[in-house]
Amino acid sequence: MRVLVVGSGGREHALVRTIARSPLVTAVFCAPGNPGIGAHAILVPIPATDIEALTTFAAANAIDMVVPGPEAPLVLGLADALLHQGIRCCGPSAAAARLEGSKQFTKEVADAAGIPTARWEAFTDTHQALDFVRRRGAPIVVKADGLAAGKGVVVATTVEEAEAAVIACIREGAYGAAGATVVIEEFMEGPEVSVFALCDGKNALFLGAAQDHKRAFDGDRGPNTGGMGAFAPPPGFTHATQELVMESIIRPTLTEMAARGAPFVGILFAGLMMTAAGPKLIEFNVRFGDPEAETLLPLLADDLMPALIAACDGTIADIALRWHPEASVSVVLAAQGYPGAYRKGSEIRGLDAASAGDEVSVFHAGTRAEDDRVLSDGGRVLVVNATAPSLALAISRAYHAVDAIDWPDGFCRRDIGQGHG
C-alpha cells in the first residue's frame, strides 16, 4: 500500500514511523512533514489545509490511504474530497468532524446519547451570557464554540474572569468566527484522561489512554499549552474503567452520529474528567492527540495498518491489537516564550545521542533543516519519549535523553509523570 500522512508535527512523526514499519506498506508520503519525518517518508510540500492539492496529489500518485494528523483538514472536508476520488481516508467526514469543530454540537450529541458531561448552555449574545455567568457563579468554564488552536477555553475561578472571557469571545472577537458562540458549562473536578478509539462508523477499538500536562511550567503553573508532556497508563485507569468509557461514552457517540447520518470513521479522542461520580466527557477531538500519539504508539506491539484499513472498510470488530505492558513518558521541548512569543531558527544539537537505544524516541514537532543542521521552527519543537517496565524508569530514561540534547533556546517541564507511580 501507498500511504499519505497529512501534517507536520510530532503526532505525524509518530504515525509515519509506525505506518512505515508495516509489511503492508510499500511507500509513505507526508505533507508537508518535517526533517524527522523525512527519515521515514517522502516529504510533499503541500500545506495540511490545502484540500484540493492534497486530493490531487493522492489521486495522481496512486495513494491507497490517507491518514490525517490534525483536525483542520478534516473539518474542511478532506475525507469527503478523497472519498469522491475513491481513496480511503482514515478520518471522519466534515459532518462527523463537527464533534471537534463545534463544542455546542458535541454537547447536543452527548445529551441526545445520554453521555455523562457537564451541564451547559450556549450563547451568541453577550448580555445573556454575562447574565448566565452571574447567576451561576464561579468556578465556571467558558469555551469558544469553534476551533481556536487550543486557546479558546477559560476555566474561570472568579465571575470577573468568566465575564472577561465572554466579552473577549463574543464582543471583541478574540477567536474570530470560532468565538461567535460560547459554550458555558459547570466546572468539573478530577484528573483529566485522554482516551482514544479507532472507529468504523458502527464499532470501536480501544487504542489506549494517557494523561497529559497542559500547563507550561512545573507544578501545573503558567498558561495552558498544546501539551508539555504525557504519560501512560494513567493512574487508576483499569480495564473496568476502560470498558465503562467504551460503553457509556464511545459507543453511544457512534450510535448517535450514525443516526444523524454522519457515521464517525477514524480516531475518536475523548477528553474525560474522572470525577467522583465516574468519567464524564469534557470534549471530543477527531484525531490522535499530541503528545499522546507519541506516548501511546511506541507501546504498540502489532502492525497498525490492518486496523486502519478495517476502520475504513467497516470491519473494525474483527481486529484486536496487542500492546506492550510497559509505561511510556513523553517530554516536550518548547521554544523559550511558548505559548507566547518565541524565536525560530536556533540550532539543535545532540539528537543522535538523545535517541540512542530502542527504548527512546525523539519526535520532531516544529523543526526545519538547513545546511545539514536542524533548526527550531515552532513553539513545541521536539517530543522525547521513553518506555520502560515502570513509570519511574521511563521518566528517568526520558529526562536522560532530554539532557543529551544541546538546545539553549529550549525549555521543558521537569515533572512529567512525577508523583503517579
Structural domain boundaries in the chain: 2-89, 125-180, 192-318, 327-411
What is the reported pLDDT for 357? 80
What mean pLDDT comes out for the span 52-65? 98
Question: Residue 329 is placed in which grid cell?
Answer: 513518558
Spell out a b/e string for 108-130, using b for 16 or more CB atoms within 10 Å of the CB, else e: bbbeebebbbbebbbbeebeebb
- CA distances in angstroms from 420 to 233, 290, 390, listed in the order given: 10, 20, 11
Convert the pLDDT of each residue in 119-149 to its tens digit: 999 999 999 999 999 999 999 999 999 987 7
Residue percentage of the chain with pLDDT more than 90:
95
Homologous superfamily, domain 327-411: Phosphoribosylglycinamide synthetase, C-terminal domain (3.90.600.10)
What mean pLDDT comes out for the span 69-73? 96
Q: Tell me whether the omega of the peptide bond preceding residue 116 falls within 30 degrees of 0, making it cis.
A: no
Convert the pLDDT of each residue in 281-303 to its tens digit: 999 999 999 999 999 999 999 99
**The domains spanning 2-89 and 192-318 adopt the same CATH topology:** no
Question: Residue 238 is placed in which grid cell?
Answer: 483499569
Convert the pLDDT of each residue in 8-44 to its tens digit: 999 999 999 999 999 999 999 999 999 999 999 999 9
What is the reported pLDDT for 368? 96
Entry pTM:
0.95
What mean pLDDT comes out for the span 67-95? 97
What mean pLDDT comes out for the span 356-373? 94
In this structure, whether the domain defined by 192-318 belongs to CATH 3.60.15.10 is answered with: no
Mean pLDDT of the chain: 96
Residue 151 has pLDDT above 80, yes or no: no
CATH architecture, domain 125-180: 2-Layer Sandwich (3.30)
Dmax (CA) for the chain in angstroms is 60
pLDDT interval class at 275 (50, 70, 90)? very high
For residue 310, the surrounding DSSP H or E stretch is helix 305-313
Convert the pLDDT of each residue in 224-273 to its tens digit: 898 999 999 999 999 999 999 999 999 999 999 999 999 999 999 999 99
What is the reported pLDDT for 412? 98
Amino acid at residue number 12: E
Residue 421 has pLDDT above 60, yes or no: no
What CATH number belongs to 2-89? 3.40.50.20
What is the reported pLDDT for 203? 98
Task: Extract the runs of DSSP E, i.e. beta strands, from 126-258.
Answer: 140-144, 153-156, 182-186, 192-200, 204-212, 215-217, 221-224, 229-232
Report the distance separating Cα 238 and Cα 242, nearest Å.
6
Question: Residue 421 is placed in which grid cell?
Answer: 507511580
